[in-house]
A and B are shown apart, each in its own frame.
Chain A
Amino acid sequence: MATFSTNEFKSGLKIILDSDPCAIIENEFVKPGKGQAFNRVKIRNLKTGRVIERTFKSGDTVEGADVVDRDMQYLYNDGEFWHFMVTDGSYEQYQATAAVVDEAVKWLKDQDICTLTLWNDVPLAVTPPKFVDLVITETDPGLKGDTSGGGGKPATLETGAVVRVPLFVQIGELIRVDTRTGEYISRVKE
């Protein structure tokens, strides 16, 4: 894999730090009036999601990380692994562990297109679609006539996720949810 000099640091660059793949979020060039220049870098560890800050001497090089994002269709869960298929027509398949799927698990519905982040061709993280349409499997009947949605009630979805929905939304209905915030967006006509 290529190495990168601090001169090439920019937001989004993937590098290896402490043997983990990381993505640069922010890079600040710091130089005293006379003397050694540094790069103070904000970095996300792509394995743990943790954000740390680290300083480099300007001109130093670090190893790049072979990290790519690929669109894949979620196929099924066999009890141990979650299986995905690349959407480029190659039918190439990948399996991800629970640790990799992590929070995305509560939004995964068969055939939805997700983004898999691969490190050295091994899944590192799963990002669900920004919006998913899911059926409500459980919620209180709620009050007739209330259409404002003020307050709302909890509803369990087919994937097990629990979101707040307006009072008028009922069991069996299909709703759209923003997976980044976990918020109800609207009802969906099938």
Chain B
Amino acid sequence: MAEINWQPTCGIKQLRLRAQLLADIRRFFAKRQVLEVETPLLCHTTGTDPLLDFFSSDYRFLPQLQKMFLQTSPEFAMKRLLAAGSGSIYQICKAFRNSESGRFHNPEFTMLEWYRLDFDLFQLMDEVGELISTILAPRFPLKVIEKHSYVNLFEQITGLNPLLFSPTAYQTYASAQGFPEAADLCGEDHGLWLDFLFSFIIQPELGRQSVCLVYGYPALLSSLARVNPENPAITDRFEVFVDGLELGNGFFELADSEEQERRFDQENSERKTKGLPEVKKDQYLLAALTAGLPDCSGVAIGVDRLLMLLDNSQSIDDVLTFPIARA
């Protein structure tokens, strides 16, 4: 009989590290009086983002059969709680993203998501920096919390203006950096060029010995983020990096129900162009926004990646019990 590899891919040490990490996170929020909540993993609809692939399942509840979705993030449900008057909340849950698998990705992963009432983007960025540096302190003392605007950072590292699309300049730069294929791959797609250059050239440099927060992403890269009131070319969104690894994404949350619906429609038409199935707009979320979402900022952090940093792991499998191949 063929040998069955039933054992976890992580060690007992990583089980303990994870338990400690979860306890540390809960202590961090308890101190700040942020309420822990739970929302469903299995939902009637999901996000429209054409770049997020979901899992779906059938719900047999006679007389009708309903299609249900495993959440890609708890965002919509948590916003409904905020609109219902929950106050600041956090959640540690599983999120699911189909076809994402690799050294830093498992299709099922653990997410920490939280929302802070009356926090602007910068206040939330401070809190994210504090949480991450507290958590990672035992392994590497990240004393510095850096904040960079996307546009400045991009210009500083590449010499290119991310808001001004110049295929020739982008192409010349990418070729010189050893990415001659970028031109074919990205063509005339400005957003794709930015994703490419950021992922392969900028990101690996970020967060060496620091928690690096990048804010003010170009509007063309940010589907659900609120456009910055002073500069419509950028959005009130940030990402956080440590050691070249992206840990999370934060927003000053869009509270306008009509604008949200417009984004859903726009993304659904992008889905159509790409030959992807349409996603039903989340009417619960739209109704909650209409009722009124308080001013808040929210962020989602990949817990498994935090654990990778804590454990100095090279692959997410090293900190998971049973990654998808063995689940």
Contact = CB atoms under 8 A, between A and B. Distances in A.
Nearest to B182: A55
Contacts of B199: 30-32, 38
Given A55-B182, A55-B196, A58-B99, A32 B104 contact: no
A37 interface: yes
B205 to A, nearest CB: 15
A57 interface: yes
Contact of B179 (A28, A35, A55): A55
Interface in B3-39: none
Contacts, number: 65
B200 interface: yes
B236 interface: no
A79 interface: no
Contacts of A59: 99
Contacts of B167: none
Nearest to A17: B181
B179 A34 contact: no
A89 interface: no
Contacts of A81: none
Interface string A23-34: 000011111111
A90 interface: no
Given A30-B199, A30-B200, A35 B185 contact: no
Contact of A40 (B200, B217, B246, B249): B200
Interface residues of B, number: 32
Contacts of B203: 32
A19 interface: no
Interface string A49-63: 000011111110000
Nearest to A60: B185
Contact of A34 (B103, B182, B200, B222): B222
B127 interface: no
A36 interface: yes
Interface string A147-158: 000000000000
Contacts of A27: 102
A120 interface: no
Interface majority SS on B: helix, strand, loop or mixed? Answer: mixed
B100 A31 contact: yes
B99 A34 contact: no
Contacts of A37: 51, 100
Interface string A1-40: 0000001000000000000000000011111111111101
Interface in B172-191: 178-179, 181-182, 185, 191
A28 B181 contact: no
**Residue from A37, A53, A57 having most chain B Cβ neighbours under 10 A:** A37
B195 interface: yes
B162 interface: no
B104 A29 contact: yes
Nearest to A30: B199
B41 interface: no
A62 B315 CA distance: 26
A29 B103 contact: yes
Nearest to A6: B99
Interface in B71-109: 99-105
Interface in B221-250: 221-223, 237, 239, 246, 248-249
Nearest to A57: B185
Given A29-B103, A29-B104, A34 B249 contact: yes
B221 A34 contact: yes
A66 to B, nearest CB: 24
Contacts of A28: 102-103
Interface in B194-218: 194-196, 198-200, 203, 217
Given A55-B179, A55-B182, A32 B198 contact: yes
A37 B223 CA distance: 16
Interface of B: 49, 51, 99-105, 178-179, 181-182, 185, 191-192, 194-196, 198-200, 203, 217, 221-223, 237, 239, 246, 248-249
Interface of A: 7, 27-38, 40, 53-59
Given A34-B237, A35-B221, A58-B99, 16 more contacts: A7-B99, A7-B101, A28-B102, A31-B105, A32-B195, A33-B248, A35-B51, A35-B191, A35-B195, A36-B191, A36-B196, A37-B51, A38-B200, A40-B200, A54-B181, A56-B185
